């Protein structure tokens, strides 16, 4: 060993440098051949796993940061839903609600000529409850009637308004026959929705 080292030191400086570079290169080649290359696939898999875990961590960190905001949004949506539910009567409240509308007409000084409930129209999770209404009275009485109906806590729409048969020489004494459709809405329970869905499917089947 000493003789080998002595021979190396006796070599010219350039040869010694080349020999050192070759030895270092040989060591790197041995490392790559015996250690790195056989495990390159495993290393790549680990790197991909690290990237995926990092993305998952960042995503969860963002969700955690917005947790309070999400809770507030959910609470606001629940409050809005409760308010909407409160404005839609259930089946048993419909007669009382329609009776209230009729009473408002009489209290406004109008003569209720017609007040006829039509067949309900199911729409998704609720049903429309239309009522044909004809009232007779002055313009101001009609305006007061519509105003009072709009102030009800329940959702009520007034549509298809038509006026006819004006009589009297002056505006204040004019008597109008006003026809309109008063529509309220009610929630459909699960059993009703299932029944309606089956009826619709049966109709589609009979047509095909």
Q: Tell me whether residue 75 is in a domain.
A: no
Closest Cα partner for 120 from 130, 109, 134? 130
Q: Tell me whether residue 35 is in a domain.
A: yes
Q: Tell me whether residue 95 is in a domain.
A: yes
164, burial (CB in 10 Å: exposed 0-12, middle 13-18, buried 19+): exposed
The mean of the pLDDT values for the chain is: 76
95 lies in the same domain as 56: no
Q: How many domains does the chain have?
A: 2
Q: Is the pLDDT of residue 156 over 70?
A: yes
Q: Residue 143 belongs to what H/E stretch?
A: helix 139-150
Q: Tell me whether residue 11 is in a domain.
A: yes
Q: What count of Cα atoms within 13 Å lies in the side-chain half-sphere of residue 64?
A: 6
Per-residue pLDDT tens for 104-141? 889 989 988 888 888 888 887 788 889 999 998 888 89
100 lies in the same domain as 38: no
Q: Tell me whether residue 206 is in a domain.
A: no
108 lies in the same domain as 180: yes
Model confidence band, residue 8 (pLDDT cutoffs 50, 70, 90):
low
Q: Tell me whether residue 115 is in a domain.
A: yes
178 lies in the same domain as 114: yes
Token pair for 180: 């309109």
Containing domain of residue 56, as a range?
2-60
Model confidence band, residue 3 (pLDDT cutoffs 50, 70, 90):
low
Q: Is the pLDDT of residue 172 over 60?
A: no
Model confidence band, residue 16 (pLDDT cutoffs 50, 70, 90):
low
Q: What is the CA radius of gyration of the chain?
A: 42
CATH number at residue 117: 3.30.70.60
């Amino acid at each position: 060993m000493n003789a080998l080292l002595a021979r190396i030191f006796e070599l010219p400086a350039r040869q010694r440098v080349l020999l050192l570079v070759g030895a270092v290169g040989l060591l790197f080649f041995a490392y790559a051949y015996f250690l790195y290359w056989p495990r390159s696939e495993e290393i790549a898999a680990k790197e991909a796993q690290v990237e995926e875990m990092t993305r998952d961590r960042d995503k969860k960190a963002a969700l955690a940061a917005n947790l309070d905001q999400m809770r507030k949004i959910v609470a606001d949506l629940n409050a809005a839903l409760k308010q909407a539910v409160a404005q839609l009567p259930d089946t048993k409240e419909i007669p009382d609600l329609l009776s209230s509308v009729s009473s408002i007409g009489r209290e406004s000084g109008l003569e209720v000529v017609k007040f006829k409930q039509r067949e309900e129209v199911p729409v998704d999770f609720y049903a429309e409850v239309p009522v044909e209404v004809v009232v007779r009275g002055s313009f101001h009485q009609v305006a007061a009637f519509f105003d009072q109906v709009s102030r009800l806590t329940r959702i009520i729409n007034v549509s298809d308004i038509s006026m006819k048969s004006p009589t009297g020489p002056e505006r204040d004494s004019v008597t109008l026959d006003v026809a309109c459709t008063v529509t309220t809405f009610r929630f459909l329970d699960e059993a009703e929705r299932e029944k309606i869905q089956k009826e619709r499917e049966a109709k589609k089947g009979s047509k095909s």
